[in-house]
Amino acid sequence: MEPGAEASSSLTAALLSSVLNLNVAPAFSDQVLELYRLQIVLLRRRRVREMIERDRRRRQYLRRRRAFVLSSFAAVMSLITTTNRHIWVRNRSSGYNLWSSAQLFDDEEWKAQFRITRATFDYLLEQLGPAIKRRRTNYRVPIEPRRRLAIALWWFARSGEYRTVATMFGVGIATVFVIVRQVTSAILERLHQRFVSLPSGQTLDDTMTAFRDRCYPQCAGAIGRTHIPIAPPRANPDDYMNKRGWHSVILQAVVDPSACFTDVYAGWPGSTSSASVLCSSDLYLKAEDRPDGYLFPRQKSVVFDGVEIPVHLIGDSSFPLKPWLMKGYSQEYQLSPEQRRFTCTLSSALSVVDTAFTRLKGRWRCLLKKNDIELSMMSRVVAACCVLHNICENRSDGFLPEWNADVAPGANYLRQPETEPYDGDTYCTAEVIRGTITYNLLTLLQF
């Protein structure tokens, strides 16, 4: 420090000590001065914070005052002038309206349009009405549940564009969009568990008896899969491209002898193998996670030649061989007469899967062609159609022969990919069970 600065600092410290009446030795004058400077800095910072807080409160006050003035002005204007809204609900075209004519349909025409009888329609309305009913407001009268159900069923049966359905029923396009989703959710929430479940108790006994009448013993259902077309998704479209070159999601289902679905699992991309879809399903976890490895009660098993034969499902060559899932022998090898008979018998019993898929798609054509519904909703629509299929079958709501023409392969039909055999089977307990059934088929049918 220069002599002049040092003298000035000492003078400042002396003056500060005299003003504050501090008896400080000259040796401590520098410390006193530094303390003084720190106090000055703290005071300045506090003043800056107070100024910032004062500005913030002022801006907040101005915003509130402005909002109060504007709301008061709006209130005064609403008292002075009244606004008459000309349109609350858009009047739809006065052209052909399917719903206005549907009340005059006879039973045959009703079923041709909605793919179910009036009795089945009324049953569905009774079950789903409370879930799809909407509250009346001061602005408009809501669409009644009967009309909502009809819109959804017509879309399931026709898979028309939302604009077409809106015109047919005299509603808005967005309304059709919402109604299809509401009815789909109501079907799954209220009816899925009641109408889609693996057989048990007396139902299981009846199922086994029906398959025994088809010359296959110890069977509780046939499992299969089919591809449902979709529009190319934005995310990972190549994953949904199947072997036939079109985009799809996979429906895996277990079918009973009456062509009803007892288990449904849908939504996997079309490029996924049958074995991979099965291994990710709840059905697989239910069987494999049990300590005994049985899908159905073990009390229903039969023992023949020291081999326990459980109640099981049957599937085609694309599925893995499991104690709870049997399949025929590969045609790549030379088969014995017993193996050929077993394979033919199993294939005959397995035909109920094709029957169920044909009726499902023939009745609900939204599963036959690419529609404008988003991918995340497609699996729910597939499951809802399976529930409706079961209800129709259980109520003897017959499948009309002319609906088969919609499913038969043709120029406008997306052909199903070929079955790819599963090659991961190894010699295991399942192979022993299959061999026992193969060489004692006729005897087992007499149990």
Residue 369 pLDDT greater than 50, yes or no: yes
pLDDT given for residue 411 in this prediction: 42
Q: Band of the pLDDT at 410, cuts 50, 70, 90?
A: low
Residue 17 pLDDT greater than 60, yes or no: no
Integer CA distances (angstroms), 111 to 114, 164, 221, in order? 5, 20, 30
Q: Do 336 and 441 meet the contact criterion of CB atoms below 8 Å apart?
A: no
pLDDT given for residue 94 in this prediction: 43
Residue 278 pLDDT greater than 50, yes or no: yes
Query: For 50, left (φ over 0), alpha (ψ -120 to 50), or beta?
Result: alpha
Q: Do 368 and 227 meet the contact criterion of CB atoms below 8 Å apart?
A: no
Q: Do 79 and 121 meet the contact criterion of CB atoms below 8 Å apart?
A: no
Residue 19 pLDDT greater than 60, yes or no: no
pLDDT given for residue 96 in this prediction: 52
In eight-state DSSP terms, residue 417 is: P
Residue 327 pLDDT greater than 60, yes or no: yes
Q: Band of the pLDDT at 140, cuts 50, 70, 90?
A: low
d(CA 145, CA 137): 16
Q: Do 254 and 282 meet the contact criterion of CB atoms below 8 Å apart?
A: no
Residue 419 pLDDT greater than 90, yes or no: no
pLDDT given for residue 332 in this prediction: 80
Q: Band of the pLDDT at 408, cuts 50, 70, 90?
A: low
CA dihedral 333, 339, 341, 343 (to 10 degrees): -70
Mode of pairing for the β-strands spanning 302-304 and 307-309: antiparallel
Q: Band of the pLDDT at 143, cuts 50, 70, 90?
A: confident
Average pLDDT, the chain: 85
Higher model confidence: residue 208 or residue 423?
A: 208
